[in-house]
Amino acid sequence: MVAKISSGNSIFGALSYNQKKMDEQHAKVLFTNRVIEPADGKYGLGICMRSFEPYLIANQKTENPVLHISLNPDPKDILTEKQYAKIAYEYMQQLGYGNQPFIVYKHEDLDRHHLHIVSVRVDENGRKLDHNFERRKSMEICRKLEQAYHLIPADRKEGCTEPELKRVQYGEENLKGQIAGIIRLIMKTYHFQSLGEYNALLSRHNITVEEIKGGVGDKPYAGLVYSALDEKGARVGKAFKSSLFGKTVGYDALQLRIKLSGEIIKEKQLKERTKGVILKVMPQQLCRADFEKALLKKSIDVVFRENETGRIYGVTFIDHQSKCVLNGSRLGKEFSANRFNELFSAPHMGHEKQPQHHSSAGHGLSFDPDFVAQRETDAGTESTFHIFSMENNGIDPEEEAFIRRMKKKKKPKKNM
């Protein structure tokens, strides 16, 4: 997790940036500390500013009393809102701001969800809080929180990232090796709760698996057979028994992965991220192709299964950020195959039928951007739009009135 700390002299600048995100429905107030609670539960700019007013009026000497912090977990860290709130609270407590007023915003405009915290560096008597070695202390706190919440360390080496895998290309050398590399990584990193969901994920890489059951004498037998697919979804080439790839991708390993996946998906509430993204995208799209493209931008693949007449009878969502594969029926009736068949079969939709296993060229497993590069991109974006430069956000009439009240309440110094 990476923390970015900035200070400024405009409480309006810090709050208005986050308020703008909320107005655009890209952010929400996760929780507050020692802040006025609005009767209607809506944290507007005015009531938020009034919560910090007594501290800033009391301040006599501190030039940059406003604190703005951004907490950024790794994009692959899957956290509930309760966990985000706990992390923010513990961070502020350990940094020395536990008794200060502060507002925690959760930003959701990027695939990488993150937090913004607005507070003040002066106490209720106007005294400046000690912030010597604050950045070093912040780094130490982040390392502790990474361990406590099992987060991916921000200082990880680039060599530790997962390799990007492309689709199997039948006709190229070492078909067995191509299949082996993909299925081993998928079995280790993705969560799915059925053979069908596993197959939906494999299909995006031109692979299919079939369950084989039988018996040798009185002993029952169950195994898996993997095959390559062409671009139309038809089996091609030689089929390979799972035993050729090792026990980690065999029948018993698959059954264990399915069982563990169900527990992990429930415990970490992995469905919520996928469900939320789909709900935002569905009303905006006019046709199936646009729907698929919009989801892919959010690192979600969708696999539709159709019969000979083109009727959609199955749908599976593959969330490459949470590493979770979910049949539509697991998310609710509004995500079922029947719902999408109605949605994309309507005359005005202009539905263009696509191959069942179609995917973008070069599409692979690793949809998550490299964290180091992502941090550099985000930092550049924040710099461009002056996210943390609170002096550069202009003056609002409400803030002008606030400043006048501060000046009136400050007593002029007497000449000695």
Angle at 261 between CA 259 and CA 265, to 5 degrees: 130
Q: Does residue 205 belong to any structural domain of this protein?
A: yes
Residues 9, 149 within the same domain: yes
List all residues 6 or more positions away from 225 whose beta carbon is below 8 Å from its beta carbon. 209, 210, 212, 239, 240, 241, 242
Distance CA 252, CA 223 (A): 8
Residues 246, 142 within the same domain: no
At 31 the pLDDT is: 94
Beta bridge partners of 389: none
Residues 22, 105 within the same domain: yes
Write a three-state SS string for 84-125. HHHHHHHHHHHHCCCCCCEEEEEECCCCCCEEEEEEECECCC
Q: Does residue 167 belong to any structural domain of this protein?
A: no
Cα torsion angle, 236, 238, 244, 247, sign: positive
Q: How many domains does the chain have?
A: 3
Residues 261, 279 within the same domain: no
Residues 106, 210 within the same domain: no
Residues 141, 17 within the same domain: yes
Q: Does residue 211 belong to any structural domain of this protein?
A: yes
Q: What is the DSSP string of 5-73?
A: EEEES-HHHHHHHHHHHHHTTSEEEEEEES-PPPTTS---HHHHHHHHHHHHHH-SS-S--EEEEEEE-
CB 113 within 8 A of CB 321: no
> Which helix (H) or strand (E) covers residue 219, if one does?
strand 219-229
> Count of alpha carbons within 13 Å of 361, Cβ hemisphere only?
0
At 155 the pLDDT is: 66
Q: What is the DSSP string of 308-348?
A: TT--EEEEEEEETTTTEEEEHHHH-GGGSHHHHHHHHHSGG
Distance CA 290, CA 306 (A): 18
CB 165 within 8 A of CB 364: yes
Distance CA 12, CA 393 (A): 8
Domain extent for 129: 2-156+370-409
DSSP 349: G
**Residue 140 is part of a domain; what is its CATH number?**
3.30.930
Write a three-state SS string for 227-257. EEECCCCCEEEEEEEHHHCCHHHCHHHHHHH
The per-residue b/e assignment along 309-325, b for 16 or more CB within 10 angstroms, e otherwise, is eeebebbbbbbbbbbbb
CB 152 within 8 A of CB 133: no
Q: Does residue 356 belong to any structural domain of this protein?
A: no
CA distance readout (Å), 243 to 206, 252, 290, 353:
20, 11, 41, 37
What are the two backbone dihedrals, phi and then psi, of residue 9, each rounded to the nearest 5 degrees?
-115, 5
Select from 267, 296, 314 the last residue of a domain.
267
At 353 the pLDDT is: 42
Q: Does residue 355 belong to any structural domain of this protein?
A: no
The helix-helix angle for 134-148 and 81-95 (nearest 10°) equals: 140
Residues 182, 314 within the same domain: no
Three-class DSSP category at 260: helix
At 154 the pLDDT is: 82
At 170 the pLDDT is: 87
pLDDT digits (tens, 9 = 90+) for 329-378: 999 999 999 999 988 875 544 444 444 444 333 333 333 333 333 333 34
Q: Does residue 165 belong to any structural domain of this protein?
A: no
Task: Please give the structure tokens belonging to residue 355.
Answer: 């191959």
Residues 232, 294 within the same domain: no
Q: What is the mean pLDDT of each run of 10 residues along the chain (416 residues)?
A: 91 93 91 94 92 92 93 87 95 96 89 89 93 90 93 61 67 87 92 96 95 84 93 91 92 95 92 92 82 91 92 95 94 92 67 41 34 37 38 46 57 52
Dihedral, 321, 324, 328, 332 alpha carbons, nearest 10: -90
Select from 267, 287, 302 the last residue of a domain.
267
Closest CA to 191 of 244, 269, 293: 269
Residues 145, 14 within the same domain: yes
Q: What is the DSSP string of 171-195?
A: TBS-HHHHHHHHHHHHHHH-B-SSH
Residues 36, 123 within the same domain: yes
Q: Does residue 234 belong to any structural domain of this protein?
A: yes
